[in-house]
Every structure is written in C-alpha cells, then in structure tokens.
Amino acid sequence: MSALTNKVAVVTGSGNGIGRATALALAAAGASVTVSDLLVDDGERTVREITDLGGSAIFVETDVALADQAENLIAATVSAFGRLDILVNNAGTGGTSGRLHELDPAEFDRVINVNLRGTFLCSKYALPHFLTQRDGRIINIASTYGIVAAPEAAAYCASKAGIIHLTRQMAVDYGPDRIRVNAICPGYIDTSLGRRASSMSVLEIVAASARREKAAGMQPLGRQGLPAEVASVAVFLAGDGASFMTGSILTVDGGCTTTFNYGEASN
C-alpha cells in the first residue's frame, strides 16, 4: 500500500511548475488529487498525466483570491471524493518589479490577494472538514523571499512572509485538533518561468533565465532546484513520517539563504 492511499488532496496552482509536480507526486504516493488552476488547459493536462499513470484526479478551475471560488474548490473535492485530507496552498504570482513607492496600489493588492489571501481562503474552507475528522495537513508554499528580502519585490516578499507567519499561527490554533500546518520555502527552482513567460518577450525570458542561473550558481549547491525536489518535501509533510511536525518552515533552496550572494532574481 502506498503512503497516501485513501487520502484526498487539493493542490492549488497545479497546472505548472511546483504545483504540477506536487500533484503528480501526491498521486504517485496514492492520493486522489484535485488539480486547481486558472489555466484550464494546463490544469486538465495535469489531470490527464495523473490518470494516464493510473491515478485519480479531477480539475476545478479556481481563482483562489475569490472566496466563492475557494469555497467551491473544497466543496467540489469533497463531493467528488467524499473527504479531504491534504491541502497544498501553492497558487501564487510574482508581481511586477519596482521599489515600493513605484508600485501601483492595485498591483500590490493583486499579489497579496493571490498569495496571502488565497492561502487564507482555501485554508478557511478546508479546515471545517479537518476539524470534523480531527485530522488534516496543510502545506503552504511560501518562498525564501519570505525569509530574506529581495530587490524591488515589496509585494511578493510581504505576501510570502505573511504566509510563513500565518503557517505558524495556524499551527498554534489547530494543533490541538491534530491538524498539522507547515510551509515550504523554495529557492531558485527551474520552472522555465512558468506562466509568466506567456507575457514576456523572448529577450525578457532569456534575460530572466540568465539572472536566475547566475544567482543559483552562487549558492552552495550551485544550481537551480527541480520542481520534483520541492514536491518530494510536500509528500513527506503530507505523510505520517512528519507526524510530529507542525509550524515548521522548511527551506528547499540549495543553501541560498545561508549565503550573502542572494537576491539576484525573484523565485
């Protein structure tokens, strides 16, 4: 029997990158998975990849910043699979670059709404199910930029720092109910810039990739991570091997937060 057999998981932002890898890894460990994304084609592709490998998955199009859609995501999962055991709050956005006084307030709000409010909303609607079961696992995908600051990324840094402290606070509130809440902070992960590339020129993509490669080369392991390397940590946190872990903030960053050569590109 696989480690997560008979468990049900929701993974937000799972059409690409870390979210997609996490959905696939949870399914490989035996969980049924709800794939959630704004990009329908990408989300449905992830579902096909899971089902082609013999797993069980559905897709629910969701904007996690909207309360009714977050609520529907959880309700649709329970309707399809009969329960919910694992929530991975992965959906996020990087936002535009610029110093704080240059930021449009609407852009700041957008980043906070997707990254931090989305984590709050999906957790809010998942928690009643966990409370009924007296068991549940929430895994929040934050960022090393929630631990250390980065140039011209005020909204992103603030949102990810908020996720880290929300993780700790939720661990305090829900630990007595046997609900574990932990966070993963990825560093430079090779996601081929994911969905951001669709709005970038070829020159911008090349320049951004070069910056990330340069920054990743400065860290102890000297390379970018792979989405699967983050996903494997999420699977561990979802399983019984992490049964005495809550409120933990795990970096998966090649050692980049241990060095001074940091902040060359956004994760």
Task: Tell me if 1 is assigned to some domain.
Answer: no
What pLDDT score does 205 carry?
A: 57
Provide the number of structural domains found in the chain.
1
Task: Tell me if 220 is assigned to some domain.
Answer: no
Task: Tell me if 108 is assigned to some domain.
Answer: yes
Q: Give the confidence band of 195 by pLDDT, cuts at 50, 70, 90.
A: very low
Q: Give the confidence band of 266 by pLDDT, cuts at 50, 70, 90.
A: very low
pLDDT in tens, 13-55: 999 999 999 999 999 999 999 999 999 999 999 999 999 999 9
**Known catalytic membership, residue 188:** no
| pTM as predicted | 0.92
pLDDT in tens, 76-124: 999 999 999 999 999 999 988 899 999 999 999 999 999 999 999 999 9
Q: Give the confidence band of 210 by pLDDT, cuts at 50, 70, 90.
A: confident
pLDDT in tens, 229-244: 999 999 999 999 999 9
Listed in sequence order, the DSSP H helices in 99-226 are 105-112, 118-133, 154-174, 202-217
pLDDT in tens, 155-173: 999 999 999 999 999 999 9
Q: Catalytic one among 156, 174, 188, 262?
A: 156
Task: Tell me if 267 is assigned to some domain.
Answer: no
Task: Tell me if 200 is assigned to some domain.
Answer: no
Beta bridge partners of residue 9, listed in sequence order: 33, 86
What pLDDT score does 202 carry?
A: 58
Residue 100 CB burial class (10 angstroms; 0-12, 13-18, ≥19): exposed
**183: CATH:** 3.40.50.720
> For the chain, where are the E strands, in sequence order?
8-12, 32-37, 57-61, 86-89, 136-141, 179-186, 249-252
Task: Tell me if 213 is assigned to some domain.
Answer: no
What pLDDT score does 241 carry?
A: 97
Task: Tell me if 66 is assigned to some domain.
Answer: yes
Question: Which domain range does residue 47 map to?
Answer: 8-195+226-254
Total residue count of the chain as it appears in this document: 267
Task: Tell me if 205 is assigned to some domain.
Answer: no
